Amino acid sequence: MSDRFNAYEYIAVIAPGSIIVFGASLIFPELKTLFGEEGVSVGGLGVVLILSFVLGHLLQGFGNVFEKCLWAFSRGMPTDWVRKANQTLLSENQLRKLTSRLAVNHPSFDGPASVSKPAWYALTREIYAHVSAAGRAERADSFNRTYGLLRGIAVAFIISTGVACLLLNKDDSLIIAILAAASATASYRMYRFGVHYARELFVQYISL
């Protein structure tokens, strides 16, 4: 475990959780007492942060399920796209370079499509290890952190949309529409950063 404080790791957990806490306070007004009777108090803010942190961790569990469903409809995880024909993640030249570099340590390697999915997963971990050891994983890590944040936010808005559909009436259709639009936007951004991460990882590896 790293002993360095990484504020982003906490933000990625607290932000999605705070969406649920705020949404619940709108649907159940009695929860607003958590913030204090006359605005947010120091104690109230502490309670909200703790609740958001706990809920954020639970949401990441739902996020793991959500990402499996999302990528199941998108040819698998972006790091797996290079195993498929007509992939667009890398150019043909970049794919050849990737194959050549991996073949240095794995003489029998004949391209991503030549190995099983579990074997390719292990190779991508090896690729990341090389990139990180070379000190060139900063952009990939940034994309991955943002991906994790957006995954939590997307799930938080999806859950909020579902609860709003069940508990709100037709007069609140605008709120439901806004929540649904936020869910779609966060999901799309999550998708984009997942692609950015995979491309950046492979590009950095072949340029070592």
- What sign for the dihedral angle of Cα 107, 113, 118, 122? positive
- Residue 3: pLDDT band with limits 50, 70, 90: low
Distance CA(184)–CA(173), nearest Å, equals 16
For 35, the token pair is 């913030």
Candidates 75, 72, 78, 84; CA nearest to 115 is: 84
Distance CA(53)–CA(68), nearest Å, equals 23
Q: How many residues does the chain have?
A: 208
- Residue 74: pLDDT band with limits 50, 70, 90: confident
How many angstroms separate the Cα of 121 from the Cα of each of 63, 73, 74, 112, 124? 20, 19, 17, 10, 5
How many angstroms separate the Cα of 48 from the Cα of each of 12, 19, 125, 139? 15, 11, 37, 32
Distance CA(43)–CA(29), nearest Å, equals 19
Of 14 and 44, the one with more pLDDT: 14
Residues 115-138: tens digit of each pLDDT: 999 999 999 999 999 999 999 999
Mean pLDDT of the chain: 86
Average pLDDT over residues 176-202: 95
For 21, the token pair is 């806490």
Candidates 175, 186, 170, 198; CA nearest to 59 is: 186
HSE-up (13 A, CA, CB side) for residue 121:
5
> What type of residue is 142?
S
CA 193 to chain centre: 8
Look up the pTM and report it: 0.85
Question: Is 134 in contact with 97 (CB distance < 8 Å)?
Answer: no
